[in-house]
Structure 1
Amino acid sequence: MSFFSPFADLVDGLGDVLEPVAGTASTAAAIVLFTAFVRLLVLPLSRAAARGQKARTRLAPQVAALRKKYKKNPERLRKATLELYAAEKVSPFSGILPSLCQLPAFFLMYHLFASAEIGGAPNTLLGHSLFAAPLGDRWKDALADGGVFGAHGQVYLVLFAVVVAVAGYNYRRTKRQLAGAAAAAGPGGEAEALPGMGAMNKIAPLMSFMTLFTVGFVPLAAGLYVVTTTLWTAVERTLLHREEPAAVPAAA
């Protein structure tokens, strides 16, 4: 028995349980349920990340004051900023922990539906599908089987539409958050206080659109995991940040 065999049995068993309700899409429904379970496990980290974001917004005026005080000493500025965060028990990079902790689950789902064999036995999971699309196939297979608007391709069109809608929502929301943080911190803000923050702030609003490439190139089962967790993230962040305080402009 390989390391992946128990997980394959788990997904297969969940599919059998859901078959009376989901029919031929029962294994796909099992993947959605598995994703929800993973997200529930990561929820404490997501809540901690939300608290960290609120704390960083609250500390932005103090960061701006440090930047003014040490504007001629960048290294001292970075040290003082990190000391401030440490004293307040705030990590400037806490927001990435929920995503990092999900990577093992994503690669697990990828392996389960990208391998012809699991534990030396034929991979029976590859025989399942989401409507007309086999869960082990990729978008290129859909294009070869009827094209973009074929029965196989239409499944991907729905997934792509969901990804674009969620990515657009996340893009607007992230831009608003970064604008609020910049207003609170003053010109430069955290981008000058912490190495790499400026580049991260420029890339962050666009990250959601990268999901399109992931869904297009991985097996459909892994793509379904990505779409589900992306949608979950959008809802979760909306709820966790709904009481986030408005930015307070830093003193000139």
Structure 2
Amino acid sequence: MDIFALPPLTLLLDAAYSALLSLSTALEPVGGSASAALAVILVTVGVRAALIPVGVSQARAEQMRARLAPRLRSLHQRHGRDRDRLQRETMALYRDEQASPLAGCLPLVVQAAVVGVLYTLFLRPEIAGQPNDLLAHDLLGAPLGSSLVAAAGAGLDARTAIVWAVVLTVIVIVADITRRVFRPQVPTEGPLASPAMLGMMNAMHYLTAVFAVFVPLAAALYLVVTVTWTLAQRWLLRRRYPLPVA
């Protein structure tokens, strides 16, 4: 089922297409053939800037969860066999502390929605019954509407390979820095402390690079900017809202 066939989402897609195409046209004197790529980057920066207040709330919630972690572990030890009692006690703890276990989910939802729209914009040959002009744009010769998998299947030229190599390298470097700087706090004992679980948690940092291989270059550019922004924002907010020392 094509969810963008639903009238509200069709209007959203048409509006996003018109806005991005207009921004790309306005940027042509500066960006030239890369104006659409520059437009995607500016849209990404705008989305992340709008989410700064949510990022602050997310950092405060992370600080709160770290402070509550010993009490949550105590609840698991006391009520681990009674799932209903454990859930009630956990929610009561969050309520008493005026915290939410779902705090920080909004940025993920918004970013997923933006990636979905960009993916669709640079995938469809037609938008609103008209040829999709965005597909004519490229970044240094690499088509914005083609994924690395699709480009490799059609025969990867040198310029496209270089652009994708830079994109994926940046994502991997940012993921590695994030993994090293923001190591998750896990108990010294239990299933989360097992080597297999720790290895899985470390590998999850690199899933964005894997995902980027399958989306159009325009969506991959969004991922590059957003992971870099996220790393810088988390570093700044961690200094403002440090986690308690275990």
TM-score (norm 1): 0.81
C-alpha distance in 1, partners of 2:31/2:101? 43
Alpha-carbon offset, residue 15 of structure 1: 1.4
> What corresponds to 1:94 in structure 2?
103
SS in 1 for 2:23: helix
> Hey, which bits of structure 1, 4+ residues long, moved more than 6 A?
199-202
Matches within 5 A, 1:116-155: 116-143=125-152, 147=156, 150-155=158-163
Residue 75 and residue 21 in structure 1: after superposition, are their counterparts in 2 closer, same or farther (change >3 A)? same
Is the counterpart of residue 212 in structure 1 residue 209 in structure 2? yes
Pick closer, same or farther for the CA change 1:208–1:140 going to 2, 3 Å.
Answer: same
For the 8 Å contact 2:37–2:139, the answer to whether it is kept is yes
Once the two structures are aligned, what percentage of the paired residues are identical? 35
Per the TM alignment, residue 145 of structure 1 is displaced from its structure 2 partner at its CA by 6.1
Shift of the 6–70 alpha-carbon distance from structure 1 to 2, 3 Å rule, reads closer
Aligned counterparts of 1:200 and 1:174: Cα–Cα separation in 2: 17
Change (3 A) 1:73 1:15: same
Bigger Cα displacement from structure 2, 88-97 vs 120-129: 88-97
Match of 1:178 among 182, 185, 199: 185
Partner Cα distance (2:233, 2:197) in 1? 21
Deviations 1:106-161 (A, max 9, x none): 111111100000000000110011011011112134335664x7111110000011
Aligned partner of 2:3 in structure 1 is none
The reply on whether 1:161 has 2:158 as its aligned counterpart is: no
Distance 1:207 1:95, change over 3 A: farther
Per-residue Cα deviation, 1:176-211 (whole angstroms, up to 9, x for no partner): x424xx47xxx559x7xxxxxxx9987554333111
Q: Determine whether 1:48 maps to 2:45.
A: no
**AA partner of residue 218 (structure 2):** A
* CA–CA distance in structure 1, aligned partners of residues 80 and 140 of structure 2: 60
The one-letter amino acid of 2:171's match is: V
CA apart distance, 1:163: 0.7
1:223 aligns with 2:220: yes
C-alpha spacing 1:153/1:142, structure 2 compared with 1 (3 Å)? farther
Of the three residues 219, 237, 241, the one matched with 2:234 is 237
Task: Name structure 2 gaps, 5 residues minimum.
Answer: 1-6
Q: Offset of 1:247 from its aligned partner?
A: 3.5
Aligned equivalents of 2:15, 2:153: Cα separation in 1: 33
Q: Distance in 2 between matches of 1:201 and 1:89?
A: 30
Report if the CA contact (8 A) 1:18-1:26 is conserved.
Answer: yes
Q: Counterpart amino acid of 2:30? A: V
Alpha carbons 2:24, 2:35 under 8 Å: kept? yes
Map Cα deviations across residues 74-133 of structure 1 (whole Å, 9 max, x no partner). 543342122111211212232333112222111111111000000000001100110110
Contact preservation (8 Å) 2:179, 2:205:
yes
CA distance change for structure 1 residues 227 and 205 in 2, over 3 Å: closer, same or farther?
A: same
Query: How far apart, CA to CA, are the structure 1 residues paired with 2:163 and 2:232?
Result: 23
Per the alignment, do residues 16 and 145 of structure 1 end up closer, same or farther by CA in structure 2, a change over 3 Å counting? same
Is residue 2:10 matched to residue 1:13?
no
Partner of residue 196, structure 1? none
C-alpha contact (below 8 Å) 1:146/1:152 kept by paired residues: no
Q: Number of matched residues?
A: 234
Corresponding residue number in structure 1 for 2:4? none
Closer/same/farther in 2, CA of residues 165 and 248 from structure 1, 3 Å limit: closer
Segments of 5+ residues of structure 1 without an aligned counterpart are: 192-198
Partners of 1:90 and 1:84 in 2: CA distance? 8
* TM-score, with length taken from structure 2: 0.83
